[in-house]
Structure 1
Amino acid sequence: MEFDDIQKLMTGFEHSSTRELKIDDHGFHLYLSKNNQSAPVKVEKQVNAGDENGAAEKPATDSNTGAIKAPLVGTVYLQPKPDQPAYVKVGDHVHKGDVVCVIEAMKMITEVKSDRDGVVKSIDVENCDLVEFNQSLFTISEGE
């Protein structure tokens, strides 16, 4: 995508009623938001595009802190439905592949799964919070 195309897209976005826009296309990533978060507009082009089949990105984790981080921007839900218990709570043991929460973005629900075994030490967000990409959601202590 050329710079002039990006500028036109940004101008059109600014004058529209759309609140968020995310474009991922063969290593090109663009995210625009009108939400009251102080995150800068980020445009990046990656040399290594990753999975050629377009497989969804796994939740990012930081091995030093054992954090499970948001794989996308959206609204986090810590329980399946308002009248049901949370997916996990502090002190729960989680296993690799367990669903720990879901994130809703543009009417699409994405399950966030643990990529490690361990114990939930903290829940770093509140139910229905707007989360940013790579924001810490949970802190997991491994080996307990």
Structure 2
Amino acid sequence: MANKFDEILRAFEQSTVSHLVYKDQEFSLELSKDVKTRKEPETLTTVEKVENVEKIAEPKEKEDVLESPANYKEIKSPMLGIAYTRMNPDEEPLVKVGDEIKKGQVMCVIEAMKMFNEVTSEVDGVLKAINFKDEDMVEFDQTLFEVEEHA
């Protein structure tokens, strides 16, 4: 019986259990302990938290915020998938920033369920921005390209 008691005691000491009740035909045992086995991560004081939030959330000056001109057209992803700027890995990209773009021109392809879907321009203009990297996962309605539309 002493051997059984020692075994239970050792197991209880090594565990994270804080309260144990053991009963059998020979004896009953109730154990409890204050469990503080893992070190708590250091936390910031309330003052430090408030100071950090203020530093992060400082409002930007109005001049710092760039707005797209009214004649910029966003070309968005029609689906979720992997976007490619090239038809084949060893070919040049279909478009580059600064290129003249024609309505209906293929801008990229998106692979979804082993099917390649072309994304075409809806306007004539100059490509001002490509908002993804080759082989990025893109989401439905994500802006892929920004084109400055010709008037």
What TM-score range do you get, normalising by the shorter chain?
A: 0.5 to 0.7
Q: Can you list the C-alpha shifts for 1:57-109, whole angstroms capped at 9, x where unaligned?
A: xxxxxx76411000000000001111100000000001110000000000011
Tell me, yes or no, if structure 1 residue 116 matches structure 2 residue 123.
Answer: yes
Report what 1:76 is aligned to: 83
Higher strand proportion: 1
What TM-score, normalized to structure 2? 0.52
1:66 partner SS: strand
In 1, Cα distance between equivalents of 2:78 and 2:139 = 9
2:147 partner SS: strand
5+ long unaligned stretches in structure 1: 1-62
5+ long unaligned stretches in structure 2: 1-69
Higher helix proportion: 2
Over aligned residue pairs, what C-alpha RMSD do you find?
Answer: 1.4
Tell me, yes or no, if structure 1 residue 89 matches structure 2 residue 96.
Answer: yes
In 2, Cα distance between equivalents of 1:94 and 1:71 = 19
Report what 2:32 is aligned to: none
Find the structure with the greater CA-based Rg. 2
In 2, Cα distance between equivalents of 1:68 and 1:128 = 17
Q: Work out which of the residue numbers 118, 139, 143 in structure 2 matches 1:136.
A: 143
